[in-house]
Amino acid sequence: MTRILGIDPGLTRCGIGVIDVDRLRTLQLVHVDCARTDAGMELAPRLRTIADAIEAAIDEHAPDKIALERVFAQHNVRTVMGIAQISGVILVAADRRGIPIELRTPSEVKAAVTGYGAADKAQVGEMVRRILRLTEVPKPADAADALALAICAAWRTPVEAASRESRAAAPAERAAGALTPAQRAWLAAERTSRGRR
C-alpha cells in the first residue's frame, strides 16, 4: 500500500488530499481538506498558515510521496507568484522529512483522471468522485484538484511498476481488464510522449 498526498497550491485556497493505492491500483480516500487564508492578510502569516496546514497533514498521514501542481505560466502574475511561494513552502516541508515529491502539470493531471488534458474543473471533480467512489464531489474545487493530483501520481507509478513486474504475476488481472478508461488513456499518452523523445 502506498499513501500519496496531493496538494493544489494557492494562497487563498490550498487543496490537500490524501489517498491510499494498492498494487491493483485500487484507490481509497484517506483525507481531504482545503487550507484557507484571507486575501487581506500580510504575506508572511498567509504562508505560515498554509505551511502549518501542510505540515499537519504530512505529520498526521505520513505519506510515502507528495504530488504537487507544477507552476506554469499564465496571465495573472499575482496568482503565479502565490503558487510559486506556496510550492516553495511545500518543497521545504517535504525535503525536511525525506519525502519524495512529484511535480505535475494541470494537463497531465486532467489527462490521467479524465482522459482529456483540457477537461474543466467540473469534469475533474466528477471523475474524482467516481474514481474514489464518493457520494459527492469534494468542495471546493481546490480540494478535488488535490485529490486529482494524488490520483495521477498513484496511477502512474503502480502502472509503470506493473508493466515491468506483472507479465507472469498477474495475467488474470490484465485479461480481466484491470485498467480503467482513464488509466488506459494515461498509458496511451505516456507511450505517445516516449515516442516523441
| Cα dihedral 152→153→157→159 (10° resolution) | -20
pLDDT, one tens digit per residue, over 57-110 is 999 999 999 999 987 656 667 778 888 899 999 999 999 999 999 999 999 999
Catalytic residue among 8, 20, 108, 145: 8
How far is residue 37's CA from residue 47's CA, in Å, rounded to a whole number?
Answer: 9
> Is 22 in the active site?
no
CA-CA-CA-CA torsion sign (176, 180, 184, 186):
negative
Q: What is the pTM of this model?
A: 0.78
* Nearest of 134, 140, 131, 87 to residue 112 by alpha carbon: 131
Contact between 37 and 193 under an 8 Å Cβ cutoff? The reply is no
Confidence at 13, pLDDT banded by 50, 70, 90: very high
Could you count the other beta carbons within 10 Å of the beta carbon of residue 185?
18
Return the pLDDT at 175: 39
pLDDT, one tens digit per residue, over 150-167 is 999 998 764 444 433 433
Catalytic residue among 33, 64, 102, 142: 142
> Is 59 in the active site?
no
Return the pLDDT at 72: 67
Dihedral pair phi/psi, residue 69, rounded to 5°: -65, 130
Do the annotations mark residue 145 as ligand-binding?
no
> Is 38 in the active site?
no
Do the annotations mark residue 38 as ligand-binding?
no
Mean pLDDT estimate for the chain: 83
Which CATH code for domain 2-196?
3.30.420.10
Query: Of 48-57, 111-120, 147-156, 188-197, which range is least confident?
Result: 188-197
Q: What is the 3-state composition of the chain as percent helix, strand, coil, each rounded to the nearest 5?
A: 55, 20, 25
Catalytic residue among 52, 59, 64, 69: 69
* Nearest of 110, 133, 119, 72 to residue 186 by alpha carbon: 110
Do the annotations mark residue 69 as ligand-binding?
yes
How far is residue 15's CA from residue 174's CA, in Å, rounded to a whole number?
Answer: 34
CA atoms within 13 A on the CB side of 142: 15
* Nearest of 126, 107, 125 to residue 117 by alpha carbon: 107
Could you count the other beta carbons within 10 Å of the beta carbon of residue 20?
18
Return the pLDDT at 193: 54
